[in-house]
Structure 1
Amino acid sequence: MTRTLIIGASGGIGSALTQAAQKRGHDVTGLSRSADGLDVTDETSIERAFSTLSGEFDKIICATGALVIDGHEPEKSIDALTSDGLTLQFRTNAMGPALVLKHALPFLPRDHPATFAALSARVGSVGDNRIGGWHSYRAAKAALNQLIHGASIELARTHKQATCVCLHPGTVETDFTAKYASRHKTVPASQAAENLLNVLDGLTPADSGKFFDYSGTQVPW
């Protein structure tokens, strides 16, 4: 049986991933801030939450993230940047998942295939940015992409059958996107979760260190 760990299991996408994985027969463990006190901006809480786990997991998915943090909304122009907004975005959307990966490493098997995935966003792609704006969020997701890519290189040396990737789930119908989704095609969280699990099922170690969207198409850095 596939053992799957979902970080951020109480969120819109996280809870949908939990349900979708369970329907596929996975043995699912979830960690979240509301249920387990895991706050990705606090490494001590990450370490404490992981200390409650045992054994290895075939799939570990970090489904955490935030667009609006403490009232700091996506900037429409560069002159709207604030140091607080930038800091909060990096702590939540880049540093947080990277620290989750740090503490997840001991739970990834070395002798058979395993996957670590972090939810990124297409707007974090430097090559795909054609309209500007959303500077703090874009930069934090771009930083996450770099952190996961770099970690995948190290992971290939110690976990030769592991795959470590970033995933873009699309614009999902959650509280996270409600205010900003009017101009974008959206999908229910349940469908997004199925899409993401399908992508993960199709990946191999040759795909490690890459960035994929919900259809399995590689996204440019």
Structure 2
Amino acid sequence: MERVLIIGNSGGIGSALESALRARGSEVTGLSRSQDGFDVTDEAAVAEGMARLDGEFDLIFIATGALEIGGAGPEKTVKAISAEAMADQMALNVIGPALVMRHAFDLMPRNRRSVFAALSARVGSIGDNRLGGWISYRASKAALNQVIHTGAIELARSHKQGVCVALHPGTVRTAFTEKYLGRHPSVAAEDAAQNLLGVLDGLTPEQNGGFYDWAGKPVPW
């Protein structure tokens, strides 16, 4: 039976992914701040929570993240940059997943395929940035992509069949995005979960260290 760990399973995408995985017979363990006190920005809480886990996981998926923290929304201009708001973005969107990664590779099997994936965003792509704005969020996701790519190099040394990737889920209708959807095409969290599962199921070790969208297409760094 496939064993899955979802970090942030109480959020829109995380909960939809958990439901989809359980529906197909996977054994799912979820950790979140609201349900378990698993705060990815707290190094001690991450270490304690990960240490309580038993066995190996075929998939470890990080679904945490935020576009707006403490009422500070995405900047429209560099003049709106705030040190506190940027630090909050980095703590949740970059440092949190990195702290989880610090412990996660030890929970992944070395004798078969396994996947470590984190939700990133297309706006974190430097090569795809044509509009500007959203500086702190963009920077945090670009930094997350670097963490994932670097972690993938290390994973390949110990887990020959391992895959470590960043995933862009598309624009998903959740509490996370409701204020910013506008006229952008969007999908329900349940549809996004199915799309992501389709990508995850098809990943191979040759794609280790990549950045892919909800359709499995590479996203520019």
The aligned counterpart of 1:101 is 101
The aligned counterpart of 2:200 is 200
Structure 2 counterparts to residues 10-29 of structure 1, below 5 A: 10-29=10-29
Report how many aligned residue pairs link the two structures: 221
Does 2:131 align with 1:131? yes
Following TM superposition, by how much is the alpha carbon of 1:183 offset from its aligned partner in structure 2, in angstroms?
2.3
Structure 2 counterparts to residues 8-157 of structure 1, below 5 A: 8-157=8-157
SS of residue paired to 1:170: coil
Q: Which amino acid aligns with 2:206?
A: A
In 2: Cα distance, 1:47 partner to 1:115 partner? 20
Following TM superposition, by how much is the alpha carbon of 1:114 offset from its aligned partner in structure 2, in angstroms?
0.1
SS of residue paired to 1:182: coil
The aligned counterpart of 1:220 is 220
In 2: Cα distance, 1:127 partner to 1:116 partner? 24
Following TM superposition, by how much is the alpha carbon of 1:99 offset from its aligned partner in structure 2, in angstroms?
0.9
Following TM superposition, by how much is the alpha carbon of 1:209 offset from its aligned partner in structure 2, in angstroms?
0.3
Report percent identity of matched pairs. Answer: 60
Runs of 4+ in structure 1 displaced over 3 angstroms? none
In 1: Cα distance, 2:100 partner to 2:187 partner? 27
In 2: Cα distance, 1:5 partner to 1:41 partner? 18
SS of residue paired to 1:70: coil
SS of residue paired to 2:178: coil
In 1: Cα distance, 2:183 partner to 2:122 partner? 15
In 1: Cα distance, 2:18 partner to 2:49 partner? 17
In 2: Cα distance, 1:102 partner to 1:200 partner? 21
SS of residue paired to 2:28: strand
Two-structure CA RMSD over aligned residues (Å)? 0.6
In 2: Cα distance, 1:188 partner to 1:125 partner? 23
In 1: Cα distance, 2:80 partner to 2:20 partner? 39
Q: Which amino acid aligns with 1:183?
A: R
In 1: Cα distance, 2:115 partner to 2:191 partner? 21
Does 2:5 align with 1:5? yes
